[in-house]
Chain A
Amino acid sequence: MTSTESPAVDREVDGGAAPGSVRDIRAHSGLSGDIVLADAGKDYVALDGNVVRALRPVSLTIDQGSFVSVVGRSGCGKSTFLRLVAGLETVSSGSIHIGADRVDGPPDSARYVFQNYNESLLQWRTVGDNVRFGLRHRHGPRRAHSRAEENEIINGYLAEVGLAGTFSRYPGELSGGMQQRVAIARALAASPQVLLLDEPFSAVDALSRSNLQDLLLRIWRQHDLTVLFVTHDIEEALFLSQRVIVLHEAGAGIARDATVDIPYPRTQVDVREDPRYLRLRREVLGLVLGLE
């Protein structure tokens, strides 16, 4: 839990992530799939020539297989944080590694779920063919499948996200929550090790959101994923995550790095009455609203 803002933490930045080392992490056990940010920061030059700080350099390690959320107000740099890990933007200082690989473009081991599912899905393709897109552009070695085998695999992923029987529907026919499920199935079909989600459920109605949260937890455990989840919804972050990183306003870096010590499986009703959850919610909410 290393961060520049809280020096009293116990975890060191993983030193084993030297650039140029072996590519396939899992084939060479001993190297982990941790996500390591070392003084990773982002500045950009605005149109008027001024340098704007999107994210103050931060250092932290996200353990392989953990579920970590990043919360903060709009403009705090949480999306920048995620986009840097996703390789959609490049760091202006420091470095980011996933396992042994330095992030300097979208990493093969990670897949990204966008907030705007309707823009991210290929609307002209059926649901099944959208998942096929993930399968065809999957991480790691690609096995040749017959079309029938492919369809079977796709139906498996669709069933997993609760969309059995929607193979030949078009995304536009489905509700927002269902479309985001398609996007998740597509990402899963690419067999990633890291799943990056940028406010994925914020455009979905409240009840569907709860269902999607449960689904995401199930998938996380089933597929051994490392999940990095960005949201402005503190309750969502606390319900889902093992660890919640709170960002200061205006790219000023990490305000709090909190461990959510509630065991899994978690259920919506129980967690929201758990004293640990309530205590953390009070603390984080206060921090984000600027009360403390």
Chain B
Amino acid sequence: MADLTEARPPATTRGPQTTGAPTTVPPKAATGPAERPPASIRVGRSLLRFLRSRASGWTLVALVIVFWQISSEIHFNPTISAPDRIAQTWLHEITQGQLLPDLGRTLRTMAIGFALAVPLGVGIGFLMGRSRIVWGLLEPTVEVLRLTPTTAILPIFVLFLGIGESMKIAVFLAAGIFPMIINAYAGARGVSKVLNQTAQTYRLTWWQTQREIALPYATPFILVGMRQSLGISLVLAVVVGMLAGNDGIGFYILNAQQTFNINQLLAAVVTVAFVGYVFNSIFLLAERRTTRWRRIASGE
């Protein structure tokens, strides 16, 4: 779920700044009302501004939903259902059904796994980036394990931990820790020689160097790691619930499918998508805040 946002260069990402790119800024007091450009140009400019912002993208989403609704009115298909029915079911499931309790249970387990993965992953990755010895010791293990699909290890976890809470936490930990390690490593590794020598010439202790130089430098990387980690965790939250769960959102979806309750199924899918979007937005916001200096420096 993080892919779309990562494809863009970070300096020019979303937000009101990008909508106000220099060419689209309407003329201010400097030109005066007497020199207002003709209507055709003004319309052209606001159209361009609309196309460049994400408003056009959200309009597209709305149009797809409207098209979906209309096509299902014309040609009723019970296996696909219509947005208004899904919305009705969703409202009902949220207020009275099992959707929220199941989602809540999944998110709680996920939060525990994430809370373990973040400090462990940051610790390991950061130390690997700062110490050649730690890197030499851990790099092979990390490389082998991170390329092993968690879904492949899942049966092992089930075998040893059963299908209870501890198995799920272990899965979230195992899946979430590697994006943390990789990104924290990249951040800690990226501290330039000159910056390290600056720390040396100001006679910083090892601890001061990490705290005042390396950790602030690596923070934007660590936040990217957290965002990726959360994305993977959400995928696994559903998969684990389907493969080995007896409650949770994955179980809920599987259950809806097996009872041919299409509206319930799609309501759950939409909910998971929404949760993913909210998580992603929160971490993007945090990233923006910690890299404010970079955008200011590049004059945006």
Contacts and interface: CB of A to CB of B under 8 A. Distances in A.
Nearest to A88: B197
Interface string A211-238: 0000000000000000000000000000
A172 B216 contact: no
Interface string B191-228: 01011011011111000100011001100000000000
Tell me the interface secondary structure of chain B in the complex: helix
Nearest to A111: B201
Contact of B194 (A110, A114, A133, A134): A114
B300 to A, nearest CB: 11
A118 B249 CA distance: 49
Contact of B203 (A120, A123, A133, A137): A137
B202 A119 contact: no
Interface in B263-300: 290, 293-294, 296-299
A122 B203 contact: no
A162 interface: no
Given A116-B194, A119-B192, A124-B217, A111 B297 contact: no
A171 B297 contact: yes
Contact of A114 (B197, B203, B296): B197
Interface string B115-135: 000000000000000000000
A173 B297 contact: yes
Interface string A85-109: 0111000000000000000011010
Contacts of B200: 87-88, 105-106
Contacts of B198: 112, 114, 120
A119 B294 contact: no
Contact of A111 (B202, B204, B298): B202
A277 interface: no
A96 to B, nearest CB: 15
A197 B115 CA distance: 46
B194 A120 contact: yes
Contacts of A173: 296-297, 299
Contacts of A106: 200-203
B193 to A, nearest CB: 8
Contact of A123 (B204, B208, B297): B297
A28 B265 CA distance: 83
A170 B294 CA distance: 9
Nearest to B293: A170
B203 A172 contact: no
Interface in B202-261: 202-204, 208, 212-213, 216-217
Tell me the interface secondary structure of chain A in the complex: loop
Interface string A152-171: 00000000000000000011
Interface string B166-201: 000000000000000000000000001011011011
Contact of B293 (A111, A119, A124, A190): A124
Contacts of B217: 124
A287 to B, nearest CB: 30
B202 A137 contact: yes
A170 B297 contact: yes
A23 to B, nearest CB: 14
A51 B204 CA distance: 32
Nearest to A196: B201
B173 to A, nearest CB: 30
Nearest to B200: A106
Given A122-B216, A133-B212, A172 B294 contact: yes
Contacts of B208: 137
A110 B201 CA distance: 8
B202 A133 contact: yes
A13 B85 CA distance: 93
A119 B194 contact: yes
- Counting chain B CB atoms within 10 Å of each CB, the highest count among A110, A124, A190 belongs to A124
Contacts of A172: 293-294, 296-298
Nearest to B290: A124
A133 B297 CA distance: 20
Interface string A166-201: 000011110000000000000000100000000000
Given A106-B203, A119-B195, A173-B297, 9 more contacts: A86-B201, A106-B201, A108-B203, A111-B201, A111-B202, A114-B197, A120-B194, A122-B213, A123-B294
28 contacts: A87-B201, A106-B200, A106-B201, A106-B202, A106-B203, A108-B203, A112-B198, A112-B201, A114-B194, A114-B197, A119-B194, A120-B195, A122-B195, A122-B213, A123-B293, A124-B216, A124-B217, A125-B216, A125-B293, A137-B203, A137-B204, A170-B296, A170-B297, A172-B293, A172-B294, A172-B296, A173-B296, A173-B299
Interface of A: 86-88, 105-106, 108, 110-112, 114, 116, 119-120, 122-125, 133-134, 137, 170-173, 190
